[in-house]
Structure 1
Amino acid sequence: MNGTREPCAPPRGAADFCLSCVLTTALVVAAVAGSFAYLGIDFAAFFSAGAAADMGRFAASFFPPDLEPEFLRKTAYGAIQTFAVALIGTLLAAAAGLLIALPAAGRHGTAAGRLARFALNLLRSVPELVWATLMVLAAGLGPFAGVLALALHTTGVLGRLFAEAIENAPPQPEQSLREAGSGGVAAFVYGTLPLVWAQAVAYGLYRLEMNIRMAAVLGFVGAGGLGQMLYFHLSIFQQAQAATVLIAMLALVLAVDTLSDRLRGWMG
């Protein structure tokens, strides 16, 4: 030994990681470039002076909005209907999601857990617009189809979130109640549910905010509310009336967001 130390070779893991990053970045860039090439978007025409003038004239056609008392009453009724569709759909989804979350959290065996998780994955993998289209065909035009569409999709989302919350809850309180002779339902209600209740309500309020926006969109496929009004007036080129409906949508979303934030702050 001559007392000198040989330089250490760089770890192979770092080199492999960098290579993976380069390959991933190249694939993403190629996918983005290929998407633009496949779609054939004419950006030159989009940013031309003529296109800007056309967009300006189209935007100007929405002003001033229609503020006639009769139309305002009709719009207010549509806003109430939109809120009711979102609220009822969310409440139904919260109840169904909690019921499915129990087996999904592994409380009724492995087979039941896998079946429940498959059902939740299926429900939330289908977008609300697709559910609404199917429900319109099954139940007819109107807000009932919107309620069913929101309830089906939101059940899949809330059920998964509720199941994860139940799985992550400390098991000691429920186990203590069971050892003291309490039944399974009572042990869950008094031992686990209080630990996840605030989180579950927060999830429900967040989904209500999202469902308010989606309920307005579902009207485009005949599910009632402001969306159906907006589609009708745009289809016959009544931009002033459409502007009033858009303002009502914005006001409704802002009101629900504000109320939801205050409720979450009060609960927190």
Structure 2
Amino acid sequence: MIDTPTRERAEAARGDRHLIPVPRDPRAPYRAGSWTVIIAVLLVLHLLAFQATDFKPEALVTGATGMLNFLSEAFPPDLSPEVLQQGIEGALTTLWIGLLGTTVSVPFALLLAVLGARTTTPNSVVYQIARGILSFFRAVPDIVFALIFVTAVGLGPFAGVLALICHNTGVMRKLWSEAMEDIDPGPEQALRTAGASRWQIVANATIPTVLPQLTGLLLYRFDVNVRSSLVLGLVGAGGIGLLINKAIKTFQFDEMLTYLIIILAVIVAVDLASAWIRKRLQ
């Protein structure tokens, strides 16, 4: 009979024979060197950015008195009926600008998303043209579009709607085309095998498959556009942003605070409604 220590040593020896040595990765030193270079470059870039932007946190301390004076003049907010009425009307206008800027851009964004996705547009020339057009609309900020349209159609919310339509079309094209490129190709291949045309495949396979994702992205953009329409009002595109700009220029900081509270309530309501709709789509 083999004693217990001898048996354990024999089992350990048999186990050692089954161990496979892990080979050392020859690229490990190069990866470590690459990360070192990347971190060093990022540090240098941040140092340059701090210098270029005159980043001085101590300025907040020295300017604390001015900030306190500003806040003391803003509190309490002006809750007079006239100011509340103007703020509610301006907030609704801001909401309508964001709504129209989102929904009116849908057909343009959808068409260009189909033309700008590789899975739905095999023609490379059409694909590059669609991407070029939408890259321009996406690259130009909405506030620049607002300044352009203010000079064309005058001050007011219509300029803000046009600005959001142009910018949102470019952004939605990118988001939607990427969603179309990531779907399961099975339904499309089945219709293609059955002899369906390309537009029939898009209408009956691509869009129905990706529709919940497209709707979720559209709701996200609606949230963003409502906030953007507030900023567009600062350059004359209407809405409550115009009232905030006017209140700041006339040093009516209590009115400004009232308008900010109103638009905060509107944005929270939009967020809750969008979250509720997205939950129902899942």
Q: TM-score, normalised by structure 1?
A: 0.89
Match of 1:89 among 101, 106, 128: 101
Is residue 237 from structure 1 mapped to residue 251 from structure 2 by the alignment? yes
Is residue 173 from structure 1 mapped to residue 187 from structure 2 by the alignment? yes
Match of 1:204 in 2: 218
AA aligned opposite 1:73: Q
Is residue 150 from structure 1 mapped to residue 164 from structure 2 by the alignment? yes
CA gap 1:236/1:186 in 2 versus in 1, 3 angstroms:
same
CA gap 1:181/1:247 in 2 versus in 1, 3 angstroms:
same
Match of 1:79 among 74, 85, 91: 91
Match of 2:65 among 53, 69, 72: 53
Identity %: 36
Cα offset for 1:9?
10
Cα offset for 1:188?
2.6
Residue pairs, 1:9-20, within 5 angstroms: 11-20=25-34
Match of 1:35 in 2: 49
CA gap 1:63/1:16 in 2 versus in 1, 3 angstroms:
same
Which consecutive segments of 4 or more residues in structure 1 shift more than 6 A? Answer: none
Match of 2:76 in 1: 64
58-67 or 37-46: which moved more? Answer: 37-46
Measured in 2, the distance between the counterparts of 1:162 and 1:45 equals: 43
Gaps of 5+ in 1: 1-7
Cα offset for 1:220?
0.8
Measured in 1, the distance between the counterparts of 2:182 and 2:57 equals: 49
Kindly name which structure, 1 or 2, has the bigger radius of gyration based on alpha carbons.
Answer: 2
- How big is the alpha-carbon RMSD for the aligned residues of Structure 1 and Structure 2? 2.2
AA aligned opposite 1:244: T
Q: Contact conserved, 1:94 with 1:159, CA < 8 A, in 2?
A: no
Measured in 1, the distance between the counterparts of 2:52 and 2:112 equals: 42
Give a deviation string over 1:7-44, Cα, whole Å, max 9, x none: x9965522222222222222221222223233444543
CA gap 1:112/1:55 in 2 versus in 1, 3 angstroms:
same
Match of 1:257 in 2: 271
CA gap 1:39/1:184 in 2 versus in 1, 3 angstroms:
closer
3-state SS of paired residue (1:61): helix
CA gap 1:195/1:13 in 2 versus in 1, 3 angstroms:
same
AA aligned opposite 2:117: A
CA gap 1:45/1:209 in 2 versus in 1, 3 angstroms:
closer
